[in-house]
Every structure is written in structure tokens, then in C-alpha cells.
């Protein structure tokens, strides 16, 4: 069975051929650990977990190596630690612990290696010195910068016009840059900032730029060239473009990774998620109200390259579907993943098609087809679902199951109309009626959302 993956670099879906089928290697950019991860951050974690499971199935669990880094040196981390008045290491440890708990609750396997940037400073310095020695980087005012014009084919991944790349890079204007596009590999640290002895004979201690971290960690754990590199679509430029520049120039290699995979962005209830809009949802927030399996399923209903709209309605529907799957196959011993589910996944992780296959299997269970419950159970467990017994699952649902979503939404509409008409008695009456049903309302300038009271 051929696996086909859409590669951002070549802009086409290609058959996946690993460099070494006994050692299939994947690197995914991980979190910057300064605060709880948001539900957008959960998307690459879940998507690449599905790919990891698929690769393990196709090549054998011992023949796949998945590396997802932890960025534990970053100016946002420094600022947050100072704000909270705690040591940086305490902040990064605490955040990393929370992240691990969150993604485990979402049913994601731990990667084989989770390297920390601060434990790979030596590798970063080695790369930086090589780049300087070969004329791809230069020292200026205690910084080391990558010289973009030293790489004639820079920009292949994002394929942005040169003037756009220059405009993008101008965000970091600095007098010591030879060219506007040049980017930082190493920068000096003030006494209050974390610092390490600098490379290239620079006297002041310093710290690495963001991009060099991933070149160093992927090199250390996967080698100079590897199979798959993943992350969210926002990382294409500049992060991945710059990783490619650093790694290819340091190793004199034609490629860094053979397949570049990017997940689309997640928005919440139709809007870009942002702290200022007040619609910022952490994974922790989601897990307070929804089982991890529901959040996972909801993420997989949309193909990973499409944008996804994260809504309460979608979560409710996902929960209902999982109820049906649990009812059909919850406590059944499984016989592995079904061929059709695998087939859907090998087509560039076509999870909507995979879900259609799960529904088809459920229909077969209902019509009494032999082997259907086992195939459904096997497929769901392969994908990280059915992690509970049917009884445990039903228990979670009990509190919420009495709630009729369309009734709740109808009442909310009535209340919105009452509020518009300044009929406060009526709007309060509806709020109380909903509260009696176990529904809590949240009003914001963008409208009303609801959740089940815990």
C-alpha cells in the first residue's frame, strides 16, 4: 500500500519513499514553553500523531523515529519568568509538564525523542561556526547572521517574491545586517538574560536564534538529511525556510528533509484566535468541558491541510458520533485496523474519508455483519480512540446527555432577541431556564457561547 503525502516544497502529492525503511525519520517543530498550549497548537500534535501511528504500522514501530523539540530558550520565556518572578527553568519545566499532560489526554503518543533547545547549544555553535567558515554567515556587533545572498536558491519552500521576503525580514531591522533578509543565528545576552559562551570568538555570552535550534536538534537526532519535516503552515516562512538554508549550507546538502508537511490554521467560532478578541482557548480549557477523545475526533473531521473552524457545535457532534462508536464497538476485542481506514489515511491522511469508513463499519455492525465490531474497534483504537470502557464513557456523558443542543441554541436566540429589545426580564428568565438545564452562558461582544456546567 503506497503512502502519498503532499509536500509543500514540491507543491505536489508524492508517493512516500523513505531514505531507509528501517529508520523512517520525522521531525516536527514543538512548543515554545512559556504558557499553556492553545487548541491551535494541538492541531499539529494530533495530525502528526496520526501520521506517526500510520508510519509505525507501515514500517514497524521500531523502524520509525519521531522527534518533536521543546523550545526552552526564547524572549517570551524570559519575559514571562520575569513577570511571574520565578526562575526560567521552573517556568519551562512547569509548562512542559502541562503540555505533556494535555497532549496525552488528547490521545497522542509521546515522540521517541523530545529534545530541549538548551541541551543542544554545543550543536548549534558547531553549525554556526561551520556556516561562518564556509562564508554563509558572518559576525557583526557580537551577533552572528546568516547571509541570505550566499545561498542562490534561498526561498524555494515559501516561493515568496524577493521583495516580500525582504519586507518580512525588515521586521528585524538592524544596522549591523549586511542585507535586509539576513537572519540571526546567535545574539548577545544581557546579564539578566540566559547566556552561553559565544561561538566565533565573540567575547560576550549569548543565546541562539530560534531557527538554528531546529537545524541543530534534527541533525543530532535524525542526521543531516531525513524524511519528513512538519509543523503549522505559519512556520513555512521564515522558520522552515531558514532551517533549510542553515542545514543545507552547513552540510552542503541538496535537501534537508524529503517531504515538508504543514497543517492548516485553526480558528475559533469563525474568528482568528487571539487574546485581544477574548476567544483564546487553551487545551486545558477544552479538556475541562470535553473528553480528550472528543477534542481529538473533532480535530480529525477536517483534512489537515484545510483551515479548521473550532466550534462548540462541532464538539457536540463529535461527542455524539463517538457515543455511537462506543455503543457499537466499545468493549469488543479488536482485530487491528481495517484496510479501508488505512487506505484513506495513506491518501495524504484523508481523515474525513477515514471517518466515512468508520461510519460505514458502524452501519455494518448494525446490520449484523460478522467481524464488523472487531474491525470498528480495531480501527478506532489504532487511531487513539476507545481508550475507555463503554461504562466509563457513558459516565462522562451522563451529565451532559440530557441537554438538547438545538433547544439550547433556540433559547439562546430568543434571549439574544430579548436583549436587543431591552426586555431584561425575559432575557433573565431564559438565562435561568438554561441554568436549570445545566447550561452556563458566556456573553462577549461577539455574541453568546455556552457550556455545560461542571
Per CB under 6 A, residues contacting ligand AMP are 29, 31-32, 40-41, 43-44, 231-232, 234-235, 263, 265-266, 273
> Which segments of 199-311 does DSSP mark as H helices, in order?
210-222, 241-251, 283-289, 292-300
* Partner whose binding site includes residue 32, from ligand AMP, Zn ion, none (CB under 5 to 8 Å by kind): ligand AMP
CA atoms 382, 387, 391, 397: torsion sign: negative
Q: Give me the least distance between CB of 57 and ligand AMP, in Å please.
A: 24
Q: CA–CA separation, 226 vs 353, rounded Å?
A: 29
Q: CA–CA separation, 128 vs 126, rounded Å?
A: 5
* Partner whose binding site includes residue 273, from ligand AMP, Zn ion, none (CB under 5 to 8 Å by kind): ligand AMP
Q: Give me the least distance between CB of 210 and ligand AMP, in Å please.
A: 9
* Partner whose binding site includes residue 408, from ligand AMP, Zn ion, none (CB under 5 to 8 Å by kind): none
According to DSSP, residue 331 is labeled: T
* Partner whose binding site includes residue 18, from Zn ion, ligand AMP, none (CB under 5 to 8 Å by kind): none
Give 110 or 369: the residue with its C-beta nearer to ligand AMP. 110
Q: CA–CA separation, 91 vs 33, rounded Å?
A: 8
Give 300 or 439: the residue with its C-beta nearer to ligand AMP. 300
Nearest residue (beta carbon) to ligand AMP: 232
* Partner whose binding site includes residue 214, from Zn ion, ligand AMP, none (CB under 5 to 8 Å by kind): Zn ion
Give 31 or 209: the residue with its C-beta nearer to ligand AMP. 31
Q: Give me the least distance between CB of 43 and ligand AMP, in Å please.
A: 4
Which residues pair with residue 230 across a beta bridge? 28, 261
DSSP string, 55-98: HHHHH-GGGEEEEE-BB---HHHHHHHHHHT--HHHHHHHHHHH
Q: Give me the least distance between CB of 338 and Zn ion, in Å please.
A: 35
Q: CA–CA separation, 102 vs 91, rounded Å?
A: 16
Give 37 or 361: the residue with its C-beta nearer to ligand AMP. 37
Considering all CA atoms of the chain, what is the largest pairwise distance in Å, rounded to the nearest integer? Answer: 76
Give 74 or 348: the residue with its C-beta nearer to Zn ion. 74
Give 32 or 150: the residue with its C-beta nearer to ligand AMP. 32
Within 13 Å of residue 164, how many CA atoms lie on the same side as its CB?
A: 7
Q: CA–CA separation, 284 vs 42, rounded Å?
A: 11
Q: Give me the least distance between CB of 144 and ligand AMP, in Å please.
A: 22
Q: Give me the least distance between CB of 213 and Zn ion, in Å please.
A: 7
Amino acid at each position: 500500500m503506497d503512502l502519498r503525502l503532499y509536500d509543500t516544497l514540491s507543491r505536489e502529492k508524492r508517493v512516500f519513499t523513505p531514505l531507509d525503511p528501517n529508520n523512517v525519520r520525522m521531525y516536527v517543530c514543538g512548543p515554545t514553553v512559556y504558557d499553556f498550549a492553545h487548541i491551535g497548537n494541538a492541531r499539529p500534535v494530533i495530525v502528526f500523531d496520526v501520521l506517526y501511528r500510520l508510519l509505525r504500522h507501515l514500517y514497524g514501530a521500531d523502524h520509525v523515529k519521531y522527534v518533536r523539540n521543546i523550545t526552552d530558550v526564547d524572549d517570551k520565556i524570559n519575559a514571562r519568568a520575569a513577570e511571574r518572578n520565578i526562575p526560567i527553568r521552573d517556568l519551562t519545566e512547569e509548562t512542559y509538564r502541562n503540555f505533556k499532560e494535555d497532549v496525552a489526554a488528547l490521545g497522542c503518543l509521546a515522540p521517541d525523542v523530545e529534545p530541549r533547545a538548551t541541551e543542544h547549544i554545543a550543536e548549534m555553535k558547531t553549525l554556526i561556526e561551520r556556516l561562518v567558515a564556509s562564508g554563509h554567515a558572518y559576525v557583526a556587533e557580537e551577533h552572528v547572521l546568516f547571509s541570505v545572498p550566499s545561498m542562490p536558491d534561498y526561498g524555494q519552500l515559501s516561493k515568496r517574491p524577493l521583495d516580500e521576503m525582504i519586507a518580512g525580514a525588515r521586521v528585524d531591522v538592524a544596522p549591523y545586517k549586511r542585507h535586509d533578509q539576513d537572519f540571526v543565528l546567535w545574539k548577545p545576552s544581557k546579564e539578566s538574560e540566559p547566556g552561553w559562551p559565544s561561538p566565533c570568538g565573540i567575547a560576550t555570552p549569548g543565546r541562539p536564534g530560534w531557527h538554528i535550534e531546529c537545524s541543530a536538534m534534527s541533525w543530532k537526532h535524525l542526521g543531516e538529511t531525513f524524511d519528513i519535516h512538519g509543523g503549522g503552515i505559519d512556520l513555512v516562512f521564515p522558520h522552515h525556510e531558514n532551517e533549510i538554508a542553515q542545514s543545507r549550507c552547513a552540510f552542503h546538502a541538496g535537501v534537508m528533509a524529503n517531504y515538508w508537511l504543514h497543517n492548516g490554521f485553526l480558528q475559533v467560532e469563525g474568528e482568528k484566535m487571539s487574546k485581544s478578541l477574548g476567544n483564546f482557548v487553551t487545551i486545558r480549557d477544552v479538556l475541562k468541558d470535553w473528553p480528550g477523545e472528543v477534542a481529538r475526533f473533532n480535530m480529525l473531521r477536517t483534512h489537515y491541510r484545510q483551515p479548521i473552524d473550532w466550534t462548540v457545535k462541532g464538539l457536540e457532534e463529535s461527542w455524539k458520533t463517538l457515543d455511537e462508536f462506543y455503543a457499537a464497538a466499545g468493549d469488543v476485542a479488536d482485530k487491528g485496523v481495517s484496510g479501508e481506514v488505512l487506505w484513506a489515511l495513506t491518501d495524504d491522511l484523508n481523515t474525513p474519508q477515514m471517518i466515512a469508513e468508520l461510519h460505514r463499519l458502524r452501519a455494518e455492525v448494525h446490520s449484523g455483519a460478522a467481524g464488523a465490531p472487531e474491525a470498528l474497534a480495531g480501527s478506532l483504537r489504532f487511531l487513539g480512540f476507545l481508550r475507555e470502557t463503554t461504562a466509563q464513557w457513558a459516565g462522562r456523558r451522563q451529565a451532559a446527555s440530557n441537554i438538547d443542543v438545538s433547544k439550547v441554541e433556540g433559547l439562546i436566540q430568543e434571549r439574544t432577541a430579548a436583549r436587543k429589545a431591552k426586555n431584561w426580564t425575559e432575557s433573565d428568565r431564559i438565562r435561568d431556564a438554561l441554568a436549570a438545564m445545566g447550561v452556563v452562558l458566556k456573553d462577549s461582544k461577539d455574541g453568546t457561547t455556552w457550556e455545560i456546567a461542571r
